[in-house]
Amino acid sequence: MNFTRIAPQPDLDQLIECYWMMYNDDPEPNIEKIIPDGFTELIFNYRDVYSAKTNGHDWKLQSPNLLAGQLRTYFFLQNTGRTGSVAIKLKPAALTQLFGLSMDQYLDKIVDLDSFSNPELRQLKELILAFGDIGRNKQEKQVKQVLDNYFTALNKAASENPLKGPLNLIFSSNGMVTVAEMSAAAGVGERQLERLFKKYIGLSPKYYARIIRFNYIFQLIKSKKSNWAEIVYQSGYYDQSHFIRNFKAFTGEDPSSYFFEEKNMANFFLNKE
């Protein structure tokens, strides 16, 4: 599998985390695990679609064009043929700012984008699928140009993000922040903060911070400057057992048996450049 991460232009930094692409000519079925990373996505498959499987459920064929809300735990994907995907990884509140969506409705869901009547989303689909299967190098340049132009125009009508302060605090502290501190950063009470997070993020402030703290583990491991005991401490866990329980909740695996260096979808997103 070939993965490509594309940075948006700087003016879009408050809305877009990155654009990304996947490409693989091999149709052989391969199972990938997807792990929560705190971002939502718009995904367009111009080749064969994927099947998804969550705990306790059978494999279910996905639609070609998808909106992915926040995730609380892992699930599995499997290709049904050749892979060709273009996607937008959005900042936590961006889908509400841009399209007025209430994100609690999409918690732990990946839904058919074609079911939305929003004209801006229809336009985005048409722009991306117009690329076709034109080859990765040429496509990468076009993806950045077209998506930068699209989101720059859309950004002019985007609503303000009332969670900018607490979200900046979550990311700058690597998730090691209290609800009281987030409430102060937003300038609202804790109940109002909960309501805002429910609408704009889909998760409670405490749970969202927990995801970002979990993500920080991958950064620490990638730096190769710390041993396990130091990683437990630096990522804000009380003890090793608490650290392991949290890691298993998000990945289904013990951290000592997880393949952090493996080239797969989960590590592509969590091992940030």
- Tokens representing 205? 């402030």
* pTM for this prediction: 0.93
CATH number at residue 88: 2.60.120.10
Mean pLDDT, range 168-190, rounded to an integer: 97
Are 114 and 12 in the same domain? yes
CATH code for the domain in which residue 207 is found: 1.10.10.60
Single out the residue of 36, 5, 24 nearest to residue 81, CA to CA.
24
Domain that holds residue 54: 2-155
Same domain, 211 and 118: no
Q: Are residues 170 and 151 in the same domain?
A: no
Residue 20: strand pairing partners: 5, 87
Which of 111, 134, 155 terminates a domain? The answer is 155
Q: Which amino acid is at 250?
A: F
Boundary of a domain, candidates 155, 187, 203: 155
**Residue 256 to residues 33, 124, 231, 234, Cα–Cα distance (Å):** 17, 41, 12, 17
Question: Are both 53 and 71 inside the same structural domain?
Answer: yes
> In the prediction, which pLDDT does 117 show?
83
Q: Which tokens in the block code for residue 149? A: 């132009």
Residue 242, CA atoms < 13 Å, CB-side half-sphere = 11
* Same domain membership, residue 206 and residue 139: no
Q: What is the DSSP string of 161-226?
A: -TTHHHHHHHHHTTT---HHHHHHHHTS-HHHHHHHHHHHTSS-HHHHHHHHHHHHHHHHHHHT--
- 38 and 131: one domain? yes
Number of domains in the chain: 2
Most confident of 111-115, 226-230, 264-268: 111-115
pLDDT digits (tens, 9 = 90+) for 120-165: 888 898 888 887 665 556 678 888 999 999 999 999 999 999 999 9
